[in-house]
Amino acid sequence: MSTPIRIAVDAMGGDNSPEKIIRGISLHSKNEYKITYNIYGDQDLINPFLKKYSIKQDFEIFDTKEKISNEDSALAGAKRGKNTSMWKAINSVKEKHSDVVVSAGNTGALFVIAKLNMSMIENIDKPALSALWPNKNGMNVVLDLGANIECSEKNLIDFSLMGSALHKALFPNEVSKVALLNIGSEEIKGNIIIKNTYKELSNKKNPIYDFCGYIEGNHIMDGNVNVIVTDGFTGNVALKTAEGTANFITTELKDALSGSLLGKISSLLNIKNLKKFKDKLDPRLYNGAILLGLSSPVIKSHGGTDYIGFANSLNVCKKIIEGKLIEKIKNNIL
């Protein structure tokens, strides 16, 4: 019998918590997984939702009255200390009581507390925030999305490795193809750090990925590569632009198809295709950013997502443990 995957869950972070957290766990637990959920939060607030939403896998509630609010700065959140649900959830991974931690709470505090409790993987200088974006052929892993505003050549090379290890853990049957996000596809384009990184990656082969050169922002969704590397400033701008564009498209399409009789008839006739289109742009289905580079995996669920999105972040937890993400990074550092 295989050992259950143990997921530490901060039940008090994000909008509409702890209800959406417990409901998300309930939805995730209905699959044929072997999971133990270690749930950290105020038991008095959690118990009513345990009666409302049944959990089909093993779980344990660790009664934790204190929590970090979304309004706290990263430092203020960390200073709230060891009695908060976020700290205790992270500490359970440090103490080997859990394999992975997930929180929908304060992003800055999560990163600070994670870095205070966990060591970096040897030879990795900076952690990177990574997430999944859809493309024409499947999914992209994109990093860094905001953890590091400035990056060196070594940081970007490390991100290439870590992003590819994540891609391999999530999609073991695919070839990881790395590209550097740049203002052009020619070798002469970009700043000195990008150019030097390009030369290093071109000359250094890594068994876990193929380096495919530069990619421009308008080709991110083409599906020709699947691991896209950049600094945190550029990556965060790209992320917010993509989210805004997706929201604009879905809102405008919904208005167009519901604003007239012809639009309503058209939407009924094309309901199957419209559902496929909607699902492709639904951010809940890609929820779960990963802080890479630490000795244990830390997953950030979007604070504003609903229970479906949170359930998907739990599925990311499961996949990266099954896919031995940390082991893949350690084994492929050159």
In a shared domain, residues 218 and 135: yes
Say if 75 falls within a structural domain.
Answer: yes
| pTM, entire model | 0.86
SS (H, E, C) the chain: CCCCEEEEEECCCCCCCCHHHHHHHHHHHCCCCCEEEEEEECHHHHHHHHHHCCCCCEEEEEECCECCCCCCCHHHHHHCCCCEHHHHHHHHHHCCCCCEEEECCCHHHHHHHHHHHCCECCCCCCCEEEEEEEECCEEEEEECCCCCCCCCHHHHHHHHHHHHHHHHHHCCCCCCEEEEECCCCCCCCCCHHHHHHHHHHHHCCECCEEEEEEECHHHHHHCCCCEEECCHHHHHHHHHHHHHHHHHHHHHHHHHHHCCHHHHHHHHHCHHHHHHHHHHHCHHHHCCEEEECECCCEEECCCCCCHHHHHHHHHHHHHHHHCCHHHHHHHHCC
Q: Is residue 333 part of a domain?
A: no
Q: How many CB atoms lie within 10 A of CB 280?
A: 13
Same domain, 60 and 133: no
Q: Say whether both 96 and 66 belong to one domain.
A: yes
Together in a domain, 194 and 224: yes
Same domain as 236, residue 139: yes
Does any domain span residue 330? Answer: no
Amino acid 276: pLDDT:
63
Residues 173 and 225 reside in one and the same domain? yes
CATH number, position 115: 3.40.718.10
- Based on the fold, state whether residues 90 and 134 are members of the same structural domain: no
pLDDT for residue 186? 78
Asked if residue 328 belongs to a domain, the reply is: no
Asked if residue 142 is part of any domain, the answer here is yes
Whether residue 134 sits in one domain with residue 50: no
Q: What is the pLDDT of residue 135?
A: 87
pLDDT in tens, the chain (334 residues): 468 899 999 999 999 999 999 999 999 999 877 899 999 999 999 999 999 999 999 999 999 999 998 888 888 888 888 899 999 999 999 999 999 999 999 988 999 999 999 999 999 999 999 988 888 888 899 998 888 888 999 999 999 999 999 999 999 899 999 999 998 887 778 889 999 999 999 998 888 999 999 999 889 889 999 999 999 998 888 888 877 777 777 676 676 666 665 555 655 555 555 566 566 667 777 788 899 999 999 999 988 899 999 999 999 999 999 999 999 888 887 6
pLDDT for 39: 97
**Enclosing domain of residue 149:** 125-287
Residues 263 and 297 in one domain: no
Is 329 among the domain residues?
no
Domains in the chain, number: 2
Q: Could you give the CA distance from residue 101 to residue 85 in angstroms, rounded to a whole number? A: 11
